[in-house]
Structure 1
Amino acid sequence: MAKLHLPSVPKRIIDTPAALDDLCTHLRAAGRFAFDTEFIGENTYYPVLCLVQVATVERVDLVDPFAIDDLSPLWSLINDPAIPKIVHAGDQDVEIVWQKSGAKPQNVFDTQIAAGMIGLAYPAALWRVVEFYAGITLDKAHTYSAWDRRPLSKDQLTYAVDDVRYLLHVHDVMTAKLESLGRTHWQTAACTQMIDENCKPVDARGVFARIKGANSLDGDQLAVLRELTAWREQVAYEHDLPPRAMIADEALFDVAKRLPRDVDAVKRIKTLGAEDARSYGPHLVDLVKRGLTVPPDDRPELISPGEDSLAVKRLSEALWVAAQTICLGQSVTPGLVTSQNEVAALARLIDRSASLDKHPLTHGWHHECLGQHLAALVKGQRTVAFKFGPEGLEAQFS
């Protein structure tokens, strides 16, 4: 284990533009830094940023966004491709930086992703990673704390500091391990993919596809559901409300399924509730009418794979077992690379002798880690042998 050198804890919170400028000068000079954010996301369309934590090898700092209106100097550093940043489970952190700055964070190393590539579990909580690499047990009590209250308690400040204090040490150990395994480019690609997936506008016209049960609706009903969810997204954005807090998914699904033509029919939908029926009834009726006027060729379609044949089920199960074993044999957590549903989709393509070009396992680091081996196995071009070594299951390809 690498010798543990911890940065000093902050003596005060960064709460002035001048102090922020001094901090950013320090961060740039340090050459790399860890960051994390605390926010409240239950009551607004976009999360309310409550605290930003940063750490270099020298010190930890806490930035109060309630006291400083313009955090653009800090966002510029996080978005600078020349400066490495370290996060843990950073999907929401990079998203909130993108929301605040309008640009994607660059050169980000996510220690949770790296853990899944070097033999640890994925997803692994920060406290488990720190315990494994530093032998220190962190407090987990303030994960869902009231971060918007001031002043922050001593326990909250300790928790916030611990969220970044150990990340540079973990980064050093993980970087060395990834380099020894030849997987640095896997890590870079996976982190870039994580950023791309989380830093993009909401597709209001595509939200309908994520509503539970949507694939059971016909073309008319789906067209209506698309109008309903797009309208809810826009109104929620304008009023800074979480969309599901405005009207529940179940209610919109039932409106689309029953296609009410007047307000009285809307009021009979039990999942909607009397208050929502009164408030939104006329709008919902108009949206139903609008959806029903969509030309047949423009109506959305959700394709369900349906019931697989016994042959496809058998192939899917075999491929899933092979995928898990191949990943574990390389000390990679299978869930970081693929999923059972994704492997089942691959089995259907293989069964139909269809092109695999658009399947995720045929591209990038997913292909290098798993896809190429699965394809070669299916074609009979490769064999895989396994044995238990010092670090667990080991795969040997021939």
Structure 2
Amino acid sequence: MQYQLIQTQNQLNEFVEQIRNKPILAIDTEFMRRRTLHPEVALIQVYDGEHLALIDPLAELSLFDFWEILRDPTVLKVLHSPSEDIEVFQKYAGFVPMPLFDTQFALQLLGSGNCMGFAHMVKNLLDIEIDKSESRTNWLQRPLTIKQLDYAAADVFHLLPCFDLIIKQINEAEFFDIVINESELVAQKRAYQTPDELLYQDIKNSWQLKPADLAVLRELAAWRRNKAIRKNLALNFVLKEHNLVEIAKRKPSSLNALRSIPEVENIEVNRSGVEILKCIEKAKVVPVSDFPEPLKRLIDFPAYKKVAKDIKQKITKAAKEQGIPEDVLASKKQINQLISWNWKLTPEQRANSPKPDLLNSWRYEYVKDALQEWDV
């Protein structure tokens, strides 16, 4: 396996010319996610079947021409389980390479099981054991070791022959467009940002709170994310999620009272205590008429179990008719997403929220007749 590490502009320019007219590129990224909100990109691997390069984004490089190739809609970009890679590109490049072929999802679509890891795929399809000992390595260190570079190069070197085997079965089943559309859906969902005023609804155990408590939680959840974005800190390094609910319940009015809440750490109070107290005071003057409504779980709706079972039966029937694995057509989470969207949101909220996966993606074409009553 031959590859080059690209750390100069001349090396990158030469590589771009080598891959410029290639119809298929295998791509991977290495990144670190330590205390930051966004992944820190450390390496971009690219293989066209002939030229394999490891591009060092920490070097002083202009990637404009390389990005243009990844933007080219005539070039198929092949990745394995690219959800986090999509986030890397959204943040670092400002776009997501499309069309994008996810080999992990393609295998799932072909009935090979859920979330097959890269090493498992390579063993299954190529009968090659690959070394995964560097998966937890520090990719931001420089210089990178030969072992790190070999590991990174192997990810795309083996990805392309796996793709060659998978694409034959995908084309025979006429599933190519589904694979491409699924990656587009993942990118859409990664790019969507819940409005500040609705963030509190996604906080674990928020359903336990009363309306006055929810008004505090609403302020805290929005403040936490905005600070995380401003400081590029992971959310839980600003304030742990379970502490949000406890603070909203207790509504401390002083730093000492805040410190007395179990599990709230001194470092959280020292860094953000004053801001937290301001959120509480802001929520306290909110009129009762503007309090959030109590949150309901799906299991709190008497008809939930019967309705979920009915939808699942319809999905099962549609999946069998189309030859698509049932769990690919609709997971339990996606069924719950559909029910929640209909039952929990007002018409105005639905108009301003992303549609559920079952009503927005390739899935809709397969289930629209069976789920007609849910497409409101």
Superposition TM-score tier, normalisation by shorter sequence = 0.7 to 0.9
| Matching of residues 193-208 of structure 1 within 5 Å | 193-201=185-193, 203-208=195-200
Out of 248, 252, 257, the position equivalent to 1:265 is 257
Partner of 2:54, secondary structure, is strand
Q: Please identify, of 237-246 and 113-122, the stretch whose mean Cα deviation from structure 2 is larger.
A: 237-246
Question: Which residue does 1:9 correspond to in 2?
Answer: 2
Contact 2:110–2:170 (CA under 8 A) maintained in structure 1: yes
Matched with 1:367 is 364
Distance (Å, rounded) in 2 between the aligned partners of 1:370 and 1:333: 13
How far residue 297 of structure 1 moved from its aligned partner, in angstroms, is: 5.2
Output the CA distance in 2 between the equivalents of 1:13 and 1:348.
Answer: 48
Cα distance in 1 between the residues matched to 2:119 and 2:70: 24
- 2:340 and 2:42 map into 1 onto residues whose CA distance is 47
Aligned to 1:3: none
Q: Partner residue of 2:214?
A: 222
Supply the AA of the counterpart residue of 1:222.
L
Are 2:19 and 2:51, in contact at CA under 8 Å, matched by a contact in 1?
A: no
Aligned partners of 1:138 and 1:279: how far apart in 2?
44
How well do the aligned residues superpose, as a CA RMSD in angstroms?
3.1
Greater alpha carbon shift after TM alignment, 127-136 vs 12-21: 127-136
SS in 1 for 2:114: coil
User: Aligned match of 2:121 in 129, 133, 136?
Assistant: 129
Match of 2:110 among 102, 118, 122: 118
How many residue pairs end up in the alignment?
A: 365
Mapped to 2, the partners of 1:223 and 1:128 lie a distance apart of 47
- Is the partner of 2:204 in helix, strand or coil? coil
Structure-to-structure mapping, 1:1-398, within 5 angstroms: 8-10=1-3, 12-201=4-193, 203-296=195-288, 298-301=290-293, 302-309=295-302, 312-314=304-306, 316-317=308-309, 319-320=311-312, 323=315, 327=319, 332-343=324-335, 360-370=357-367, 372=369
What one-letter code is carried by the residue in structure 1 that aligns with 2:171?
A: E
- Following superposition, the deviation at residue 209 of structure 1 comes to 2.5
CA separation of 1:127 and 1:327: change in aligned 2, threshold 3 A: farther
Deviation at 1:331, TM superposition (A): 5.6
* 1:320 CA displacement: 3.3
Deviation at 1:202, TM superposition (A): 6.5
Aligned residue type for 1:233? R
TM-score, reference length from structure 2:
0.85
Asked if 2 retains the 8 angstrom alpha-carbon contact of 1:236 and 1:243, the reply is: yes
| Unpaired segments ≥5 residues, structure 1 | 1-7, 377-398
Mapped contact 1:75–1:97 kept (Cα < 8 A)? no
User: Could you state the TM-score of these two structures normalised by the residue count of structure 1?
Assistant: 0.81
- 1:219 and 1:348, CA in 2 relative to 1: closer, same or farther beyond 3 A? closer
CA distance in 1, matches of 2:23, 2:111: 28
Amino acid at match of 2:187: I
Distance verdict in 2 for CA 1:39–1:348, change over 3 Å? closer
Work out whether residues 120 and 333 of structure 1, in 8 Å CA contact, stay in contact via their aligned partners in 2. no
Distance 1:101 1:263, change over 3 A: same
Distance 1:102 1:195 in 2: 12
Question: In structure 2, what is the Cα distance between the partners aligned to 1:16 and 1:125?
Answer: 33
Q: 1:315 to 1:270 in 2, by over 3 A?
A: closer
User: Which SS does the other structure have where 2:160 is aligned?
Assistant: helix
Query: How has the CA–CA distance of structure 1 residues 81 and 268 changed in structure 2, closer, same or farther, with 3 Å as cutoff?
Result: same
String of CA shifts for 1:202-225, please: whole Å, max 9, x gaps. Answer: 754443222211122222222211
Q: What is the distance in 2 between the residues matched to 1:14 and 1:345?
A: 44
Q: CA deviation at 1:54?
A: 0.5
Q: Deviations over 1:21-43 (max 9, x none)?
A: 11122222222211111011112
Once residues 292 and 155 of structure 2 are traced to their aligned partners in structure 1, the CA distance between those partners, rounded to angstroms, is: 43
More deviation, 321-330/150-159:
321-330
Contact kept, 8 Å, 2:314 with 2:370, in 1: the verdict is no
Identity within the alignment, %: 25
Structure 2 contact 216–283 (Cα < 8 Å) conserved: yes
Query: After the TM superposition, which of the residue ranges 110-119 and 289-298 deviates more from structure 2?
Result: 289-298
In 1, Cα distance between equivalents of 2:220 and 2:250: 13
Residues 250 and 183 of structure 1: CA distance in aligned 2, closer, same or farther (over 3 Å): same
| TM-aligned CA distance change 1:347 to 1:195, over 3 Å | closer
Is the contact made by 1:87 and 1:111 (CA closer than 8 Å) also made in structure 2?
A: yes
- SS of residue in 2 equivalent to 1:29: coil
Match for 2:59: what amino acid?
A: A
C-alpha distance in 1 between matches for 2:246 and 2:192: 29
- The amino acid that maps onto 1:81 is P
Equivalent residue letter for 2:2: V
Kindly provide the amino acid, as one letter, of the partner of residue 150 in structure 1.
R
Offset at 1:72?
Answer: 3.0
